[in-house]
Every structure is written in C-alpha cells, then in structure tokens.
Structure 1
Amino acid sequence: MAKAAQKALGPIRRSFAPWLDPSAVPLIRFENVVKRFGDFVAVDNVSIDIHQREFFALLGPSGCGKTTLMRMLAGFEAPTSGRITLAGKDLAGVPPYRRPVNMMFQSYALFPHMTVAQNIAFGLKQDNIGKAEIETRVKEMLRLVKLEAFGARKPHQLSGGQRQRVALARSLAKRPKVLLLDEPLGALDKKLREETQFELMDLQQELGLTFMIVTHDQEEAMVVADRIAVMNHGKLVQVATPGEIYEQPNCRYVADFIGDINIFDATVTGAEVGGTRLKSAEVGADFVAAGDASAVAGTEVALAIRPEKMRISTEPPPADATNVLKGEVWDIAYLGDWTTLLVKVEGSEKIVRVSRANMTRSEARPIGWDDKVFVWFAPDAGILLAA
C-alpha cells in the first residue's frame, strides 16, 4: 500500500498548472512560428509556451502540422519565420545533436544486429561517455522500463511492447531536457497501448522531464497530457487541459474533433438570466441552454451536447424535463461498460447519439432496435458555440 501511495500521480497532477502563473517562465517557447514547403503552409503563425515537467500533447488529424512543429523543435526542420527558444536560448542554427532534446520515432528504429543493452548504449558511445558511466546508465534504463532480464536479447526476440520500451530507454539514456514522442504507441494493440499510457505518465513524473507527444489519438492525448494543443490546417485552434478541451471547447471544430458529440444548428430566439432560448429548424424543436443572457435574438449558433449527458427512455420524461426530443432507435453498440444508442429524431433526418453506463448486469426491458423513445437533456448539459 505504501508503494502505491508513493507513486500516486493525483496530488502532483492536481496541483501542477504553471501556465496559470503569470510569473512562470516557460521552458519551450514557439513565437509566431511559420513553416512553408514551397507554396504549402504546414505551420501557420503558431505561438505556444510549454513549461518544465509538463506533459504536453500536440493533437490533430494527419497533415495538420503537429509533426512538423515537433521536428522544428528537434532541429530536423528550420522555421521559415518565427523563433523557437529552449530554456531561454534561441535554437536557430543549433544542429539536432547539440540540442538537449531527444526524439522517439513511431518506427522505434532499433538496430537489429545489436542487443537491447547495445541499442540503449549507442547514443552514449557516440557522445564519448566513459564505459563505466554507460554501463550504469544502461542498467538504470533497463530497470526504469522493466526490462532488466532482456538486456542480452535482440529486437526480433522481443514483443512490440518490449521494443517500444527499448526505444524509450534509448531516448532517455542521454538525459535530455525534453523528450519528443512521435506517435510512440501507434504500433501497439489497444490494451497494451492503454497500459503503456499510464506507464509513460509514471515515468515522466519519476524522471521529472518535459515530454511532448504528437498523436492523432484523442483518447491518448486526454489520458497522458497536462495540456493539449489542438491543431488544424497548420493553425493552433485551442490549448487547454483535457477537461477544458472536452467540456469547454472554444469552437465547433474542437467540439466535433474531441470525442463523440451531438451538434444542433439553431437560432437564438431570446435570452434571460441563466439561459438562452433557441429554435432548431434542423429537428423542429425549441431548446433552452444555460449561457450568456446577452445573446442576440436571430444569431445563428450551434448547441453541442455530449452523448453521456443525454437521457433516454421508452417512457415519457418527467414533467419538468427540458429539451425533449422524440425518436426511434436506429442502431445500438454494446461496448461492455457503455451502450451507445443512435436515435433518429422524429420528423427529421437527424441522428443523435446517446450513451448509457451499464451499471447493472441486466435490465428487465432493455431498449432495443426500432423502439420509440424520448431523449432529453438539461439546459447546462450543452455548450453554445458559434455556428
């Protein structure tokens, strides 16, 4: 029990928020960075501050610029304009091998003819570190990634998860200030990937390093990162904690990109203290949303609601229920811990997604295909976004 309590990350992660301190000096700073490849703008005027010991995620679809941004920090690409600093030092003109940064690639790039220990030691030998120090660091890295018994094996004798750990150990052996992770878990199966995400978090805290991860996996970013930068078409769309990104997206793109969500196009019909009245021609319904009482009637908006915040029943909802829709169950996905139901709203082509936690082993009359149902949600369940 004492060991588990010692490694608990909750108290650390709850209190860690240097980006909220105006006096905090960031470790890494991207200032108005632009990167062009010919006429194509891969990174478009991006500014980000990343703090020491932060686990920072760059998240977005393929081609959004996240890997290019990381490669510029590593020194494999140079900005077309703008500035990148690390610990206050401008990195312009500094070659990759002179930067206190190491990068772990998605392919792992292990040397097949070398043992695990030799792979980990390779970069240290390149830096002309003494033999005794190399042996000490290799042992330390093997212990850190729980591969003490595998030092003499070759990469082909390891599982995918073990090869991933060797690549991680090799990246950490040089003790960089910043570790860059480019889709590091993409080659692992789902269960191993989920386990490794928590191991990465433990490792980052134990070493006290700054990690930057590039991923297109929203769930992975939500699990490991202190903050997430969502990118699209080379631009920075939102930088916030996982909870803020999920619950308070700043635009329709982020709301739609992160997790599952229902979005209703609507028009403001009136506002009052504590709420905004809306009409959605899309589903032929009136809604009430908690929000800014200063909303102007006639304004086009989007009302976004997460599936788990919606209620569903074959029986009419309570008399005081708001935002009620009628529909028919179109499809069902049983996921074990959750069941997701797709409901076609009556009188429209709109399909809404409703998620229910499976709290009991069974229910007397589960909702089934083609059932007529009521779907509703509270005014504070959704968020108003610009159309």
Structure 2
Amino acid sequence: MESFGSFRRKFSPWNDPTAKPFISFENIVKKFDDVTVVDNLSLNIFNREFFALLGASGSGKSTLLRMLAGFEEPTSGRIMLDGQDLRGIPPYKRPVNMMFQSYALFPHMTVEANIAFGLKQDGMAKSEIEDRVAEMLKLVKLEKYSKRKPHQLSGGQRQRVALARAVAKRPKVLLLDEPLGALDKKLREETQFELMDLQMKLGLTFVVVTHDQEEAMTMADRIAVMDKGQIMQVATPAEVYEAPSSKFVADFIGNVNIMAGEVTHYANGEAEIHCAADNLSIRTLTKKELSVGQQVWYAVRPEKITISREAPDDIAVNALRGELWDIAYFGDMNVFHVRMTNGRTFKVASMNAMRKTDDPLGYDEQVWVSFENNAGMVLVD
C-alpha cells in the first residue's frame, strides 16, 4: 500500500493542464450594501486537495467559504462544484458540510448522538446509522467516549466529535472555518497532523479558512493569500514562503526584512540594488528580468542571515555592522534584533543546533549581519 507521504509528494493536479477543477469560483463579486467584500475573484480547487484560504480579518476568506456552503449568494459570478452550478441550491442540498470554530455540538446529546444527528435527519436506516457512527468514532479515536456529553470532553476531543459529525454524511467537500482556533498551541499542532491524515484516509476535498499562517503552511497542499476581497497569490506553502509574488505576500507570510531600492546594475541574473534609505548596496541573484533604474524591494528572511562578532571572511557576501538591541530565546532558536546606524532594525534567526551556552552574544554588542547573494528575493510589485 502506498504511503500518504508518497501520495502527497506526487499530488499536484494544478500543474496538469488536462486536470479539471473540482471547485471553481468564477468572477465572484459579493457586496453587502455598498461594501465589496469579494472583488471579481476567480479560483480553482482540485479534487482531494487540502486547500487553505489565508488572510487577515476582513480579507473576504470567510465570505468565500460561506458562499460555497450556500449561506450567502454571490452578487455576481458563479460557483461550480463537480460540474454543477450551485446558484440557488440551498445549503442542506449541497454536497458539502461545514465545521465551525465553535464546534456547535448539542450539549444535551452524547457523542454518538451528536455524530448520528445529521444521518437521522437524512432518514438513514437505524442499522446503517449505527455502523456509520461506529466507523466515525474509530476514525477519530473516540470509541471509549461514545456515551459522554460534550461538557465531559476536552477541547481536542470536542473538536474531533465535530469533525466526525461533519464527515459522517460523506460530503464531497468539507469546509473548515478556523477549526483549531479554540485549542491551545500544543494541541493545535498535534491536531494539524491529525487533520492531514484524516483528509488522506477519507479522500475528501478540504477547504480551510484561517488567519494562522503556521496552520495553513503545515496543512495545506496550496494556499490562497487574500487581501481586500482579492487573491494575492495561489501557490504551495514553499512557493508562497520562498517565492512570494509581491511585497504584500512576502510581508504577510512569516518574518522578513524588506528594503526599498533601485537597480544600479543587472546582467545575466546578477543584480546590484542600492537602498538609499539604508545607505546599502546589495548584490543578489535573481530570475527576474530587471532594468537599471528600476525601483524594487529586496526581501530576506531572518533565518537566511548570519550574525557574528567578526566581519565575514568572504567579501562576496552582503555584510552590515550594527548593535545588538534585543534578544529572544525560544529554545530551538534565538531571534536577534540588530539596530543599524541609520535606525533600521534587522531581524536575524539562529537555530540552536547544539547545546552551546558559553559566551553567548549579549545586549549592546557590536555585531555583523551578513547574507549570501542567493539568500533574498527581489520583488517588483
């Protein structure tokens, strides 16, 4: 039997020009009175994909999910699901189910009764309901808790009950609206992997709405980064992080140092960018076609930067001198804030790969920050 990991490595229908989208948002506009919350948005999602809509509050991600569920109708445009136009189809007749952040469990019902509720509403035979509930309890590893009520469960257990109830009807698509927001950090991290495994076992399409970047980066096959009702980039987590399409995406995803500059030299994929405000010239490699005099941004992630007391030996690297202003210790890594003479603060992340506690860098020390010419990204938008 092929492993989930093997399947995930090969799964990329968005790269296949012959693959047909399972869900299509076509030129969707949604207005509430005079306010446009989704602005002429088009998006394709493929069967069995774990897809994340990621954005800040007010970006339109939850509205998009609610339109797919049928709780809202688009002002214009159409939504297609498995070849069917969803316009006018009420929520209870759509082959989708939704799991809410609050879980919305019935407090007076047992775990098994909560899971069975939707099946009873659909008129399924009693024996079939019992079999399906048993299957769902086993799937979410709650067989021993079937007779308990929600208040007798932990937050993680309630989350799994809500998930079991949502998939019990075997929808074509499961919609998850901030599904892990009520869990503590450690449980949230554990549940992310449980959701990924569950999605693979069920073979369903999952669409999750979240404002949590780590959550989206961990679980999703692809991410749509949203802002003001529009999609800024759709790509895999690695592509969104390592090759953002714009300054907005680079700044929104993770930590980053961004500098505005002007291209002073470009030839054969090598560029020099002068950042006047930082009194700094950066040498970089880039796949973008640039022209001398072009205004760009240069972005470099904190973990791509080296911090040291001594100047780097390699004169080819980009190096700056500054004062160590702040230090944050996270156990697995240190985060340093280095203040330059011009007032800019560079964020530097250093992994604690070894148990090294002797002679650590300290506050107010003069240090060097340096990065290779392939460490950063040139952004033109």
Q: Which TM class, normalised by the smaller chain length?
A: over 0.9
* Secondary structure of the corresponding residue to residue 303 of structure 1: strand
Alignment partner of 1:301 out of 290, 293, 296: 296
Matched, 1:287 2:279: no
Superposition deviation, residue 332 in structure 1: 0.5
Alignment partner of 1:199 out of 194, 201, 205: 194
1:57-72 alignment, distance < 5 Å: 57-72=52-67
Cross-structure match for 1:3? none
1:235-384 alignment, distance < 5 Å: 235-292=230-287, 294-345=289-340, 347-384=341-378
Contact 1:275 1:293 in 2 (8 A): no
Superposition deviation, residue 272 in structure 1: 1.8
Alignment partner of 1:36 out of 31, 37, 57: 31
Tell me the TM-score normalised to structure 1 length. Answer: 0.97
Contact 1:56 1:212 in 2 (8 A): yes
* Secondary structure of the corresponding residue to residue 325 of structure 2: strand
Tell me the TM-score normalised to structure 2 length. Answer: 0.98
Alignment partner of 2:205 out of 210, 221, 224: 210
2:236 and 2:76 map into 1 onto residues whose CA distance is 28
Matched, 1:223 2:218: yes
Superposition deviation, residue 329 in structure 1: 0.6
1:102 and 1:7 map into 2 onto residues whose CA distance is 28
1:36 and 1:274 map into 2 onto residues whose CA distance is 44
1:114-129 alignment, distance < 5 Å: 114-129=109-124
1:168 and 1:290 map into 2 onto residues whose CA distance is 46
Superposition deviation, residue 336 in structure 1: 0.7
Deviations 1:27-83 (A, max 9, x none): 101000010001111111111111110000000000100000000000000000001
Deviations 1:298-346 (A, max 9, x none): 211110001000111001111334211110111011111111000001x
Cross-structure match for 2:7? 12
Deviations 1:209-229 (A, max 9, x none): 000000000000000000000
1:249 and 1:223 map into 2 onto residues whose CA distance is 17
* Secondary structure of the corresponding residue to residue 137 of structure 1: helix
Contact 2:311 2:319 in 1 (8 A): no
Contact 2:269 2:289 in 1 (8 A): no
1:384 and 1:302 map into 2 onto residues whose CA distance is 6
Closer, same or farther: CA 292–64 of 1 in aligned 2, 3 Å: same
Letter in 1 for 2:108: H
Cross-structure match for 1:385? 379
Which ranges of structure 2 fall in alignment gaps of 5 or more residues? none
2:2 and 2:363 map into 1 onto residues whose CA distance is 46
Deviations 1:262-292 (A, max 9, x none): 1011111111223111111122111111125
* Secondary structure of the corresponding residue to residue 353 of structure 2: coil
Letter in 2 for 1:32: N
Alignment partner of 2:99 out of 99, 104, 117: 104
Letter in 1 for 2:138: R
* Secondary structure of the corresponding residue to residue 10 of structure 1: helix
* Secondary structure of the corresponding residue to residue 125 of structure 1: helix
2:171 and 2:53 map into 1 onto residues whose CA distance is 19
Matched, 1:169 2:167: no
Deviations 1:192-219 (A, max 9, x none): 0000000000000001000000000000
Deviations 1:226-266 (A, max 9, x none): 00000000001100000000000000010000001110111
Q: Determine what percentage of the aligned residue pairs are the same residue.
A: 60
* Secondary structure of the corresponding residue to residue 374 of structure 2: helix
Superposition deviation, residue 293 in structure 1: 7.3
* Secondary structure of the corresponding residue to residue 347 of structure 2: strand
Closer, same or farther: CA 386–204 of 1 in aligned 2, 3 Å: same
Alignment partner of 1:141 out of 128, 136, 140: 136
Matched, 1:154 2:111: no
2:299 and 2:61 map into 1 onto residues whose CA distance is 26
Superposition deviation, residue 9 in structure 1: 2.9
Letter in 2 for 1:21: D
Contact 1:282 1:350 in 2 (8 A): no
